[in-house]
Amino acid sequence: MVSQEMYRLGANRSCIRDLFEYGLKKAAEIGKENVYDYSLGNPSVPAPEQVNETIRDLSLGDSLALHGYTPAPGAMDAREAVAQDLTARFGMPIAGADIFFHCGAAPALVSVLRALAVDGSEVITPAPFFPEYRVFSEGAGHKFVVIPAEEKTFQIDPEAFRSAVNEHTQAIILNSPNNPSGVVYSEETLKAIAAILEEKEAEYGHPIYIIADEPYRELVYEGLKVPFIPNLYRNTVVCYSWSKSLSLPGERIGYVCIPQQTEDHDALFAAMAGAARAAGHVCAPSLQQQIVRHCVGIMPNIEAYDRNRKLLYEKLTEYGYSCVKPQGAFYMFVKAPGGDAKAFSDAAKELNLLVVPGADFGCPGFFRLSTCVSYDMIVRSLPAFEQAIRKFC
Amino acid sequence: MVSQEMYRLGANRSCIRDLFEYGLKKAAEIGKENVYDYSLGNPSVPAPEQVNETIRDLSLGDSLALHGYTPAPGAMDAREAVAQDLTARFGMPIAGADIFFHCGAAPALVSVLRALAVDGSEVITPAPFFPEYRVFSEGAGHKFVVIPAEEKTFQIDPEAFRSAVNEHTQAIILNSPNNPSGVVYSEETLKAIAAILEEKEAEYGHPIYIIADEPYRELVYEGLKVPFIPNLYRNTVVCYSWSKSLSLPGERIGYVCIPQQTEDHDALFAAMAGAARAAGHVCAPSLQQQIVRHCVGIMPNIEAYDRNRKLLYEKLTEYGYSCVKPQGAFYMFVKAPGGDAKAFSDAAKELNLLVVPGADFGCPGFFRLSTCVSYDMIVRSLPAFEQAIRKFC
Closest to B314 (Cα-Cα) out of B306, B109, B373: B306
pLDDT > 70 in chain B, percent:
100
Banded model confidence at residue B220, pLDDT cuts 50, 70, 90: very high
Q: CB-CB: which of B55, B104, B289 is closest to A55?
A: B55
Is the pLDDT score of A346 beyond 90?
Answer: yes
Alpha-carbon distance B67 to nearest alpha carbon in chain A (angstroms): 5
Q: If residue A354 lies in a helix (H) or strand (E), which one and from where to where?
A: strand A353-354
What is the Cβ-side half-sphere exposure of residue B336, based on CA atoms within 13 angstroms?
22
Contact yes or no for B106 and A280 at CB 8 A: yes
Cis amide prior to B383 (ω within 30 degrees): no
Contact yes or no for B10 and A272 at CB 8 A: yes
Closest to A108 (Cα-Cα) out of A255, A278, A275, A274: A255
- Average pLDDT over chain A, rounded to whole? 96
Given this model, what pLDDT does residue A1 score?
A: 87
Given this model, what pLDDT does residue A24 score?
A: 87
Residue positions counted in chain B: 393
Contact yes or no for B206 and A52 at CB 8 A: no
Closest to B292 (Cα-Cα) out of B251, B341, B232: B251
Contact yes or no for A10 and B275 at CB 8 A: yes
pLDDT tens for residues B262-314? 999 999 999 999 999 999 999 999 999 999 999 999 999 999 999 999 999 99
- Residue A159, exposed/middle/buried by CB under 10 A (0-12, 13-18, 19+)? exposed
Alpha-carbon distance A61 to nearest alpha carbon in chain B (angstroms): 10
b/e burial code for range A251-267 (CB count within 10 A of at least 16 → b): bbbbbbbbbebbebeeb
Contact yes or no for A116 and B1 at CB 8 A: yes
Banded model confidence at residue A84, pLDDT cuts 50, 70, 90: very high
User: Around Cβ B174, how many Cβ atoms within 10 Å?
Assistant: 23
A184 near A328, Cβ under 8 Å? yes
3-state secondary structure of B21: helix
Q: Which chain B residues contact residue A60 at CB under 8 A?
A: 52, 56
Given this model, what pLDDT does residue A357 score?
A: 97
Q: CB-CB: which of B6, B275, B282 is closest to A252?
A: B282
pLDDT tens for residues A351-386? 999 999 999 999 999 999 999 999 999 999 999 999
3-state secondary structure of B195: helix
- Please count the residue pairs, one from chain A and one from chain B, whose beta carbons lie less than 8 angstroms apart: 267
Per DSSP bridges, beta strands A353-354 and A36-37 are parallel
B236 near B262, Cβ under 8 Å? yes
Contact yes or no for B250 and A68 at CB 8 A: yes
Interface test with B, best of A56, A67, A289 (most B CBs within 10 A): A67
Contact yes or no for A264 and B10 at CB 8 A: no
- Listed in order, strand segments (DSSP E) in chain B are 36-37, 99-102, 122-126, 143-147, 169-175, 209-213, 236-241, 254-257, 331-335, 353-354, 356-357, 366-370
Q: If residue B106 lies in a helix (H) or strand (E), which one and from where to where?
A: helix B105-115
Alpha-carbon distance B217 to nearest alpha carbon in chain A (angstroms): 19
Q: CB-CB: which of A60, A116, A280 is closest to B3?
A: A116
For B59, nearest residue in chain A (alpha carbons): A52
Given this model, what pLDDT does residue A175 score?
A: 98
Given this model, what pLDDT does residue B24 score?
A: 87
Alpha-carbon distance B57 to nearest alpha carbon in chain A (angstroms): 9
Q: If residue A332 lies in a helix (H) or strand (E), which one and from where to where?
A: strand A331-335
What is the Cβ-side half-sphere exposure of residue A370, based on CA atoms within 13 angstroms?
20
DSSP codes joined into one string, B265-327 = HHHHHHHHHHHHHHTT---S-HHHHHHHHHHTTPPP--HHHHHHHHHHHHHHHHHT--BPPP-
pLDDT tens for residues B166-201? 999 999 999 999 999 999 999 999 999 999 999 999
B108 near B155, Cβ under 8 Å? no
Interface test with B, best of A57, A100, A103 (most B CBs within 10 A): A103
pLDDT > 90 in chain A, percent:
96
Given this model, what pLDDT does residue A279 score?
A: 97
DSSP codes joined into one string, A246-292 = SS-GGG--EEEE--TTSTTHHHHHHHHHHHHHHTT---S-HHHHHHH
- Per 3-state DSSP, chain B is made up of helix, strand and coil in percentages (nearest 5) of 45, 15, 40
Alpha-carbon distance A62 to nearest alpha carbon in chain B (angstroms): 8
Given this model, what pLDDT does residue A97 score?
A: 98
Per DSSP bridges, beta strands A366-370 and A356-357 are antiparallel
Banded model confidence at residue B364, pLDDT cuts 50, 70, 90: very high
Closest to A130 (Cα-Cα) out of A103, A153, A161, A105: A105
Q: Which chain A residues contact residue B135 at CB under 8 A?
A: 277-278
A315 near A321, Cβ under 8 Å? no
User: Around Cβ B50, how many Cβ atoms within 10 Å?
Assistant: 15
Phi and psi torsions of A291, nearest 5°? -65, -45
- Residue B146, exposed/middle/buried by CB under 10 A (0-12, 13-18, 19+)? middle
B63 near A248, Cβ under 8 Å? no
pLDDT (mean) for B306-324? 98
Is the pLDDT score of B13 beyond 90?
Answer: no
pLDDT (mean) for B55-83? 96
Q: Which chain B residues contact residue A8 at CB under 8 A?
A: 274
Cis amide prior to A180 (ω within 30 degrees): yes
Alpha-carbon distance B144 to nearest alpha carbon in chain A (angstroms): 14
Handedness of CA B193, B197, B198, B199 (dihedral sign): positive
A197 near A208, Cβ under 8 Å? yes
CA-based R_g, chain A, Å: 21
Given this model, what pLDDT does residue A41 score?
A: 86
Contact yes or no for A279 and B107 at CB 8 A: yes
Contact yes or no for A135 and B109 at CB 8 A: no
Banded model confidence at residue A127, pLDDT cuts 50, 70, 90: very high
Alpha-carbon distance A3 to nearest alpha carbon in chain B (angstroms): 5
Contact yes or no for A70 and B250 at CB 8 A: yes
Interface test with B, best of A252, A256, A298 (most B CBs within 10 A): A252
DSSP codes joined into one string, B204-216 = HTS--EEEEE-TT
Phi and psi torsions of B321, nearest 5°? -75, 155
Contact yes or no for B9 and A277 at CB 8 A: yes
This model of the complex carries an ipTM of 0.96
A172 near A189, Cβ under 8 Å? no
Q: CB-CB: which of B46, B271, B283 is closest to A3?
A: B271
Alpha-carbon distance A318 to nearest alpha carbon in chain B (angstroms): 32
- Average pLDDT over chain B, rounded to whole? 96
Given this model, what pLDDT does residue A241 score?
A: 98
Contact yes or no for B2 and A116 at CB 8 A: yes
Given this model, what pLDDT does residue B184 score?
A: 98
User: CA-to-CA distance for A123 and B1, rounded, in angstroms?
Assistant: 14
Contact yes or no for A1 and B103 at CB 8 A: no
Q: CB-CB: which of B42, B46, B271 is closest to A2?
A: B271
pLDDT (mean) for B129-149? 97
Q: CB-CB: which of B111, B118, B277 is closest to A135?
A: B277
Given this model, what pLDDT does residue B18 score?
A: 84
Helix residue spans in chain A (DSSP H)? 4-11, 15-30, 49-59, 63-67, 76-90, 105-115, 132-140, 158-164, 187-204, 265-278, 286-295, 303-319, 341-350, 375-390
The DSSP bridge partners found for residue A175 are A213
Is the pLDDT score of A122 beyond 90?
Answer: yes
pLDDT (mean) for A316-336? 98
What is the amino acid identity at position B70?
Answer: T
A264 near A53, Cβ under 8 Å? no
Given this model, what pLDDT does residue A14 score?
A: 78
User: Around Cβ A184, how many Cβ atoms within 10 Å?
Assistant: 25
Contact yes or no for A2 and B108 at CB 8 A: no
Contact yes or no for B68 and A249 at CB 8 A: yes
Taking CA atoms, A15 is separated from A131, A235, A367, B51, B70, in Å, by 10, 34, 12, 37, 17
pLDDT (mean) for B349-364? 97
